[in-house]
Amino acid sequence: MTKTKVHSLFTDFDINLFKAGKHYRLYEKFGSHIITLDGEEGTYFAVWAPSAKMVSVVGDFNFWIEGEHQLNVRWDGSGIWEGFIPGVGKGNIYKYKIHSTNNDIRTEKADPFARRCEHPPKTASVVWQDSYDWKDAKWIKNRKKKNALDAPFSVYEVHLGSWKKQVAQNRFLSYVELADELVNYVAEMNFTHVEFMPIMEYPYDPSWGYQLVGYFAPTARFGYPEEFKYLVDKFHEKGIGVLLDWVPSHFPSDDHGLGFFDGSHLYEHPDQRKGYHQDWKSLIFNYGRNEIKAFLISNAIFWLDQFHADGLRVDAVASMLFLDYSREEGQWEPNMFGGREYLEAIDFIKDMNTEVYASFPDVQTIAEESTSFPKVSRPIYDGGLGFGMKWMMGWMHDTLEYFAKEPIYRKHHQNDLTFSLNYAFTENFMLPLSHDEVVYGKKAIVDKMPGDEWQRFANLRLLYSFMYTHPGAKLLFQGGEFGQTSEWNFQTSLDWHLLQYDVHKGAQTLVKDLNKLYKKEPALYQKQFSHEGFEWIDHGDHQNSVMTYIRKGENEKDNVIVVLNLTPVPRENYRIGIPKAGTLKEIFNSDAKKYFGSDCFKHKNLNSEVREWNGREHSLELNLPPLAMMAFKYE
């Protein structure tokens, strides 16, 4: 057996931080790093395997022969194996062959810190380094304004493998191709941000990327790591922020992955009540172990640091917060206080958010959290978890349930729409119409709507108009913007051919214009997370299924009055109370001809009357088009 050359990138300070769970730049030390040692170029390897009695690097440079390059275990009890192999460089493929002290188990594992992985179904790691020349300094300098809570925040959620395919060869678009087509499309649609479903390396396509193996490597399906950086750079060039889905909640048990890594439960919790996710048949990180906290927080920082991500949408937060998540009685054990909260996971989340915002105060972390756990998006000093925003799952469920109802029944269910305003400002909410709502038999968004084709698309336009004028940030999944009529299929491209039909083109134009309206009107974003930014005019007209409200900005002159007619019945001479005397002008109408609406009513300037209505001294009459939203401002 041949030992590798003794060398270390770790200082004693690094080791102490790692053991304490406070080293948040572990990617600078672990993994494979191309260096020059004693005048000889090669690669330094470091892996954490405290239950191993021998670790070898096997790869295409030693014919995968175990023992040819055996790593050296550190003397300090850290469980780190390391060493330098001359002549190994960029592009060489490798794994770690690990002999465990437990029953002499032998495993062959991919590098948890690999910067690049082989294209699935191959499973080896690749020695890699790039010297990408970033060109987004201007964006980074100014992104605090673009990512602020008082700025417009509309997100286009994308699955890179199915957004669009190269038709002739039926293949994925590459990162480089997407840097042209996708970037231009998102910019044309006026979204402020794009969100990628997980792009970290994953072995199994049907997982959509939510079962990760290569936590530090962009998936090889679409190209090289520097090509992904180029894609991010191009978004920044267009003034668009990039959010990444991040999955610290669970990981798959694939043989080459993190599970039973060194013959012991190293990354996963050894107790199945905390270490195995029954729904997803996956393993759960051991959040109480310091080194695991350092691994995960380092990974969050890695994507913000090395790939210039502008935020992380953290997946399945609810499953991390509760010990009894998706478990029956007897399948979980209460915490030390007798409660159901997973205290170690909560501490990890707080530590993660603390470090992210300390290092990158101009980014956002967004929690996909479906319970009523308090203060998810409130500061840690105020007893919160420290996220910047939280998905408003209640709004999404109630709103889709309402819009699925035949209009004749909606008068009995208006509370489904108004209820969200009772709690809309308890968190910094993002309104999501995500991929989860268009899979597994739930139907496409437009196909949830009742009525004939015209009514279904009118309902779709009304739903989106309600979403964009409701307080909170916005998120829309790919295909929803043009009324895709089939459920999302990760294996095929979106149905772009539908845009040849006016009804689909109209829906797309509406979303484009709603994004423009959202960015243009300060009242729709300046106080989107504050009760000061919203005021009802009338939420009680159940009989006509009409709702009216005011969105407010910093200046009264920016206020926007919103009117929703939630049935297909046009209503002429419909009176609403308004805040003060004056003349209103129409700034948006979802029933316009260019959206494939009926275009039956057009409002020029509307003058107020001194006539009390809705508890206000001044009022005016409007003509309400069917299944439509109208927005007005004072002249």
Query: What CATH number is attached to the domain comprising 161?
Result: 3.20.20.80
Calculate helix-pair angle for 393-403, 453-469, nearest 10 degrees.
Answer: 150
Q: Taking Cα atoms as reference points, which of 297, 265, 304, 299 lies closest to residue 283? A: 265
Q: Which of 14, 195, 310, 315 is catalytic?
A: 315
Q: Taking Cα atoms as reference points, which of 246, 175, 253 lies closest to residue 213? A: 253
Interatomic CA distance for residues 537 and 562, integer angstroms? 9
Choosing from 500, 524, 548, the residue where a domain stops is 524
**Would you state the pLDDT for residue 603?**
77
pLDDT at 104 over 80: no
Question: For a pLDDT cut of 70, what percent of the chain falls above it?
Answer: 100
- The DSSP bridge partners found for residue 620 are 576
Q: Which of 368, 513, 538, 586 is catalytic?
A: 368
Q: Is 599 part of a structural domain of the chain?
A: yes
Q: Is 251 part of a structural domain of the chain?
A: yes
The residue-averaged pLDDT of 157-173 equals: 89
Q: Is 456 part of a structural domain of the chain?
A: yes
Beta-strand pair 80-86/72-73:
antiparallel
Is residue 609 classed exposed, middle or buried when 0-12, 13-18 and 19+ CB atoms within 10 A define those classes? middle
Query: Tens digits of per-residue pLDDT, 38-71?
Result: 999 999 999 999 999 999 999 999 999 998 999 9
475 token code pair: 């998120």
- 203 and 95 within one domain: no
Based on the structure, what is the number of domains in the chain?
A: 3
- 560 and 516 within one domain: no
Choosing from 524, 551, 579, the residue where a domain stops is 524
**Would you state the pLDDT for residue 42?**
97
Non-local (6+) Cβ contacts of 342 within 8 A are: 274, 287, 320, 321, 322, 323, 335
**Would you state the pLDDT for residue 152?**
98
**Would you state the pLDDT for residue 574?**
96
Q: Is 398 part of a structural domain of the chain?
A: yes
Dihedral sign for Cα atoms in the order 100, 102, 104, 105: negative
**Would you state the pLDDT for residue 605?**
83
CB 366 within 8 A of CB 387: yes
Q: How many CB atoms lie within 10 A of CB 77?
A: 10
Interatomic CA distance for residues 172 and 165, integer angstroms? 5
**Would you state the pLDDT for residue 1?**
59
Calculate helix-pair angle for 175-188, 225-237, nearest 10 degrees.
Answer: 20
Query: Tens digits of per-residue pLDDT, 414-454?
Result: 999 999 999 999 999 999 999 999 999 999 999 999 999 99
599 token code pair: 């275009």
pLDDT at 208 over 70: yes
Q: Taking Cα atoms as reference points, which of 59, 32, 54, 181 lies closest to residue 122? A: 59
Non-local (6+) Cβ contacts of 499 within 8 A are: 482, 505, 508
- 558 and 494 within one domain: no
Interatomic CA distance for residues 488 and 486, integer angstroms? 6
- 161 and 66 within one domain: no
Q: Is 1 part of a structural domain of the chain?
A: no
Interatomic CA distance for residues 509 and 273, integer angstroms? 49
- 271 and 298 within one domain: yes
Q: Is 135 part of a structural domain of the chain?
A: no
Choosing from 126, 161, 185, the residue where a domain stops is 126
Beta-strand pair 429-433/389-391:
parallel
Query: Tens digits of per-residue pLDDT, 244-262?
Result: 999 999 999 999 999 999 9
- 544 and 462 within one domain: no
**At 90, which CATH number?**
2.60.40.10
- 240 and 97 within one domain: no
Interatomic CA distance for residues 398 and 384, integer angstroms? 26
The residue-averaged pLDDT of 542-563 equals: 97
- The DSSP bridge partners found for residue 43 are 34, 85
CB 363 within 8 A of CB 374: no
The residue-averaged pLDDT of 361-369 equals: 97
Radius of gyration, CA atoms only, the chain: 27
Query: Tens digits of per-residue pLDDT, 285-333?
Result: 999 999 999 999 999 999 999 999 999 999 999 999 999 999 998 899 9
Distance between first and last Cα of the chain:
84
Q: Taking Cα atoms as reference points, which of 295, 263, 255, 253 lies closest to residue 54? A: 263
Domain span including residue 99: 12-126
Q: Taking Cα atoms as reference points, which of 49, 41, 576 lies closest to residue 266? A: 49
- 206 and 295 within one domain: yes
- 297 and 275 within one domain: yes
- 428 and 374 within one domain: yes
Is 368 a residue of the active site?
Answer: yes
Q: Is 284 helix (H, G, I), strand (E, B) or coil?
A: coil
The mean pLDDT of the chain is 96
Q: Is 141 part of a structural domain of the chain?
A: no
**At 554, which CATH number?**
2.60.40.1180
- 353 and 455 within one domain: yes
- 577 and 454 within one domain: no
Q: Is 131 part of a structural domain of the chain?
A: no
The residue-averaged pLDDT of 527-537 equals: 97
The residue-averaged pLDDT of 352-375 equals: 97
The residue-averaged pLDDT of 382-392 equals: 97
pLDDT at 279 over 90: no
Interatomic CA distance for residues 93 and 220, integer angstroms? 14
